[in-house]
Structure 1
Amino acid sequence: MEKGEVRSPFLLLYGMEVKEKVTELLQPYLNEDQYFIVDIQVSPSRNRSKIAILLDSDTGISIEECAAISRKLGNQLEEIDLFNGAAFILEVSSPGIGEPLTLNRQYRKNIGREVAVMLHGGEIRKGVLEDVNEERIVISETPARKPKKNDPPAGPVEIPFADIKKTTIQVSFK
């Protein structure tokens, strides 16, 4: 916090408490771990707070499934009056194709797909996601240029999670 910066106690108090309560209330709607929480963002406001939830599953989640969870959760949030009568916006959706992978379960779901992996040093490695475990991913790297006759054959590359800044799925229209 910068010198002279004043943090609103409303933001400090609400952010974590609301996120924890929403996480707790979501549990019955995750169908015994069929769905999983990718992220919950809470943007408190005196006028209209916003809760944005990203859910996924190993086989994907439909708009209808997100809408059903949103209706049930929204009703519960209104019943318990989480925002003390203030208006709020609730968004429940799946991560878009451009959203980075953040959970091991998301990586496993995308084995066989083309990924771009940005390392903490800024280097980007591209290839097909071949394997995932708790410590690392393995990609069959796509060469940045057409291989020359004397280049060693491209093989699988292990990348520890500790080295990964961001991984995104690459969309191909071939």
Structure 2
Amino acid sequence: MATPSLPDSDLFIVDISVSDSAVRPKITVLADGEQGITIAQCATISRRINKKIEEAFGEELSYTLEVSSPGVDFPLTQPQQFKRNIGRNLKLKLQEGIEKTGKLEEVTETGINLTEEIKQKGKKATYAAIQIPFADIVKANVVISFK
């Protein structure tokens, strides 16, 4: 119901979750776009999803619907989100618990190219270009810098 409710072709669904509450479940839809997403676009998505839910389940269904953009602390999950963050530093958690931090250089069809900062005690940091397939990424967050 969510994807057909998107008002513009550059928008995409990032995540959908439903709370466990039996009384009044909360449906949270996170959407984003290549240029970000506006409050007006979130409101349009919300109205369209509400209409689809009412058509499918009737007006008696009690729920709360929240449509918003993912916050800066929300992990990157879609290739489009990675593309929007080229040039920024990412912190990645990979399979087997390995962590990598580095600058996102490029997004390909199958993964990302990252310039990893390798820190060694008592030495200057060195940098290495690495390729990481999307399938190996468990979690990816943008590193927020206040410099």
Runs of 4+ in 1 over 6 A off after TM superposition: none
- The answer to whether residue 34 in structure 2 is matched with residue 34 in structure 1 is no
Q: Secondary structure at the match of 1:121?
A: helix
Of the three residues 53, 59, 62, the one matched with 2:29 is 53
The offset of 1:158, in angstroms, is 1.1
- Within 5 Å, give how 1:11-160 maps onto structure 2: 22-23=1-2, 26-31=3-8, 33-43=9-19, 45-78=21-54, 80=55, 82=57, 85-145=60-120, 148=123, 153-160=126-133
Q: Which runs of 5+ in 1 are unaligned?
A: 1-21
Q: Which runs of 5+ in 2 are unaligned?
A: none
- Structure showing the higher strand proportion among its residues: 2
Larger Rg: 1
TM-score, normalising length: structure 1: 0.73
The offset of 1:82, in angstroms, is 2.3
Partners of 2:16 and 2:33 in 1: CA distance? 15
Equivalent residue pairs, number = 147
Report sequence identity in percent: 40
Partners of 2:115 and 2:122 in 1: CA distance? 14
**Contact in 2 for aligned 1:136/1:160 (Cα 8 Å):** yes
Amino acid at match of 2:61: A
Distance 1:140 1:91, change over 3 A: same
The offset of 1:138, in angstroms, is 0.8
